[in-house]
Chains A and B, each alone.
Chain A
Amino acid sequence: MTAVIEVSHLSKHFKGVQAVDDVSFTVEENTIHGLLGRNGAGKTTLMQLITAQDFASSGDIRVFGESPVENARVLQNLCFIKESQKYPDEFQPKHVFASAPWFFPNWDAAFAARLIDDFRVPLNRRIKKLSRGQLSSIGVIVGLASRAPLTFFDEPYLGLDAVARQIFYDRLLEDYGEHPRTVVLSTHLIDEVSNLLERVLVIDEGRIIVDEEAESLRGSATTVVGTRAAVDAFVAHREVMHRDQLGGLASVTVGRLDQAGRVEAAEAGLELSPVSLQQLIIQKTNVSHTEFEVTS
């Protein structure tokens, strides 16, 4: 495995705001990473730093083993699809697709044409007149058809409907299978993408709080529901992550359960329900928030 991105002790502060706070991680070649976190957590700032669109306050960034800042060798291998890409006023979608090959040496025009068809992008309408979703489709098409060795999607699908999002996921998986590359996907729609991800980075208040394989996060928490006495007995020797109570009933989230634990729960008459990646991250980002309030 080779690291495509190596970040160490990276910080970025704006006036009075610590947007990225002493962050270190690596992204391995040919993986799909999820960069998840709440609004204002520092996702976009982090991606801007890695793609050299902004300067770090301190710390080190290596992309393909080199500093990305004003480095054409690195930058020509990058594609960064932003939430709201700006285009020249007179541009039509066909101009975007016609100019893309100038920036992306691996551009596949046939794949782009197929995606334009899938997403039903009107080629000859002025970009200003396009809907929010249509504008997002253009970004998604550029991101996929550019086949850049390192592609960032920052909330690529604002305004995209469920059908179009599914097309994006399907085409991404298909094309990634045939042309492996490194993809960093930042999104709030965690449940929709959780199966696509190989590794998950969660950023909260500028710090990385989770950096794990998606598969090891899956099933790492289970909610146990039943009568209070039965639940209490079951969780007595387990670590409790979260607890809700309603009259005589209790609902408690605990860590991973093995087969014996599941049998024990079933025999105690308890209901088990899995905790999705999205719920897990909500719990984690909430916990660190309260810790932050206590320490400040």
Chain B
Amino acid sequence: MDESRPIFVQIAELIENDIIGGALPEETQVPSTNEFAAFHRINPATAGKGVNLLVDEGILYKKRGIGMFVATGARDRLVVKRRDQFQSEYIRPLVTEAGKLGISEAQLVEMIGSASRATTSGRATTASGEAATE
């Protein structure tokens, strides 16, 4: 856990990551508050606060007597929210650091382009590999 931010916010983000990454598909049950607390070694009330944050945002919903479930459409809404944060959390620090190192805007664009191509070709290889084994 990151010391600088409230734990319940971090718990909410971990659940969000699992929803975006597909580990928690829509309409599946999420672990209980006590399970989160035991796993992350935190106070159950704190874990509950994190879960409730996502309930308030409509990402999770409660089935009475059963538990918490991922809402339909949760993933799309989270992706939109994360894209907004992407600018401030990734792009601005990247540009600042590039500026410090004297990397020009054109060079930066070129670097992003080649990194992006490497990742996509990597993904393409994996995808064809999977296709071959099927």
Contacts and interface: CB of A to CB of B under 8 A. Distances in A.
B92 to A, nearest CB: 6
Contacts, number: 68
B100 interface: yes
A174 B38 contact: yes
Contacts of B41: 169-170, 173, 195-196
A13 B34 CA distance: 42
Nearest to A191: B3
B69 interface: no
B7 A269 contact: no
A269 B43 contact: no
Nearest to B35: A177
24 contacts: A169-B41, A173-B37, A173-B41, A173-B42, A173-B44, A177-B34, A177-B44, A195-B42, A195-B46, A196-B41, A198-B45, A215-B46, A218-B6, A218-B7, A219-B5, A263-B92, A263-B93, A266-B92, A267-B96, A272-B4, A274-B2, A274-B3, A274-B4, A276-B3
Nearest to B10: A218
Interface in A81-122: none
Given A266-B93, A266-B96, A196 B3 contact: no
A31 interface: yes
A215 B8 contact: yes
Interface of A: 31-32, 169-170, 173-174, 176-178, 195-198, 214-216, 218-219, 222, 259, 263, 266-267, 269, 272-276
Interface string B26-57: 00000001100110111111100100000000
A218 B5 CA distance: 6
Nearest to B34: A177
B132 interface: no
A170 B100 CA distance: 46
B interface SS class: helix
A226 to B, nearest CB: 13
Contacts of A195: 1, 7, 40-43, 46
Q: Which one of A32, A216, A219 has the greatest number of beta carbons of chain B within 10 Å?
A: A219
B99 to A, nearest CB: 9
A126 to B, nearest CB: 35
Contact of A197 (B5, B40, B43, B92): B43
Contact of B6 (A170, A177, A215): A215
A170 B44 CA distance: 12
Interface in B112-127: none
Interface in B63-87: none
Contacts of A31: 45
B34 A267 contact: no
Contacts of A197: 43
